[in-house]
Amino acid sequence: MQRIFSGIQPSGIPTLGNYLGAMRNWAALQADHECIYCVVDLHAITQWQQPADLMRQTREMTASLLACGIDPKAHILFNQSAVSAHARLAWIFFSVTRLGWLNRMTQFKDKAGKDRENVSAALYVYPSLMAADILAYHATRVPVGEDQRQHVELANDIAQKFNHDYGVEFFPHIEPLILGPAARVMSLRDGTKKMAKSDPSDQSRINLSDDADTIALKIRRAKTDPEPLPDDMQGLEGRPEARNLIGIYAAFTDTDHAGVLRDHGGEGFGKFKEALTVLLVEKLAPIAAETKRWLDDPASIDAVLRDGAARAAVLADPIVAEAERLVGFLSARG
C-alpha cells in the first residue's frame, strides 16, 4: 500500500479551495492508502501568528479535517510541532537545499511581495521543511492543490541530492496527486488570483464555516462577465471567473468542466449561480455542523492530536535517525 503524507497550515479558517484542492481528496484517499495528515504549525509561524490564535486555529483546523471525514484511528492526524523528527530532518535538508533552488519558488515571491528584506528566514526555507515532512515518513504520494506542485518537485530535488551526496538510495521519489477539476480554486472577486485564507477580502472566498445565507450572498456577488455559459470548452478562453465557478460546480457533481457545459451551456449566470449555491449549501452545511460538534469538545480534539503524534513519531523517528547516521552524526542512543 502506498504511504501518503500531506499538510495544511492552521493559519485561518479553511476555504473552499483547501477543501476541493486538498481536504476532500485526503478523505477519499483513505480507502486504499496508508495516510498521514498533518496540521503544519511550524509552517504557520513563518508568518506572524498570535500565539493564542495559533492554538485556537490548530484545534479548528483539526476539527475541520475530522468533519471532512479524516479517520484518526485508521490513519494518522497530528500537529507538526509535536513530532521533533520534522525539525531535525529539516535542518539536514537546509544544508542540502541550494539557494538557487529556493530563489525560484513562486510562493515565496508571492508571500514576500515587495517586503523581501523583512520576511522571516523561515519563510525562505519553508519548502525544505515541507520536504522533511514528507520524507521523514518515506511517503511517496502527496495530495495537494496545484499551487504546491513546485514545492513537491523541490522535495524530489532535495531527496535526490541527499541520495547522491551520501551515496545512498535512501529517500524515495515522490509523486504529487493533484486531483479533480478544482485543483486551483480562484478568488470570487478576481479569477486570476488564488482563493486564499489570507486574502483581506472575506468576499473573495467561501469559508467552510460560512452559513447558507453567507454562501448565497458571496456567490451572488461573485464576479462574472455578462455572457451566458458557453456550450464548449473553447468558449471558456479568457473567462477565468466563469471557468472557476464551473470548475467548482464540476467538483461537487463529480464531473469535469465539459460535463457541466453539456448540461448548463447557454444558461445565464444568474440561474447557474442559484444552482451552485444550492449545491454548496447542501455539501458544506454538514461539514460546518460536524466541525462545530468537535469544537464543543476541545479535549477530544487534543486527544486525537496526542494519539496521532505518538503514532507518527514511531514511524518518523527511525527514518530520521538513519538520515542522521548517514550524515555522520554520533548518536547518544548508540
Nearer to ligand TRP, 79 or 291 (CB): 79
Binding segment for ligand TRP among 141-149, 232-240, 242-250, 272-280 (CB under 6 A)?
A: 141-149
If one asks whether residue 35 binds ligand AMP (CB under 6 A), the answer comes out as no
Site for ligand AMP in 134-153 (CB under 6 A): 144-145, 147-148
Q: Which of 183, 251, 261, 323 binds ligand AMP (CB under 6 A)?
A: 183
**Which one of ligand AMP, ligand TRP, none is in contact with 17 (Cβ closer than 5 to 8 A by kind)?**
ligand AMP
Given 161, 193, 197, 223, which residue is catalytic?
Answer: 197
Site for ligand AMP in 77-106 (CB under 6 A): none
Measured from the CB of residue 110, what is the shortest distance to ligand TRP in angstroms?
11
Binding segment for ligand TRP among 2-10, 224-232, 280-288, 301-309 (CB under 6 A)?
A: 2-10
Q: Which of 133, 199, 241, 324 binds ligand TRP (CB under 6 A)?
A: 133
**Which one of ligand TRP, ligand AMP, none is in contact with 195 (Cβ closer than 5 to 8 A by kind)?**
ligand AMP
Binding segment for ligand TRP among 54-62, 113-121, 130-138, 163-171 (CB under 6 A)?
A: 130-138
Q: Which cell goes with 160? A: 535526490
**Which one of ligand TRP, ligand AMP, none is in contact with 187 (Cβ closer than 5 to 8 A by kind)?**
none
If one asks whether residue 19 binds ligand TRP (CB under 6 A), the answer comes out as no
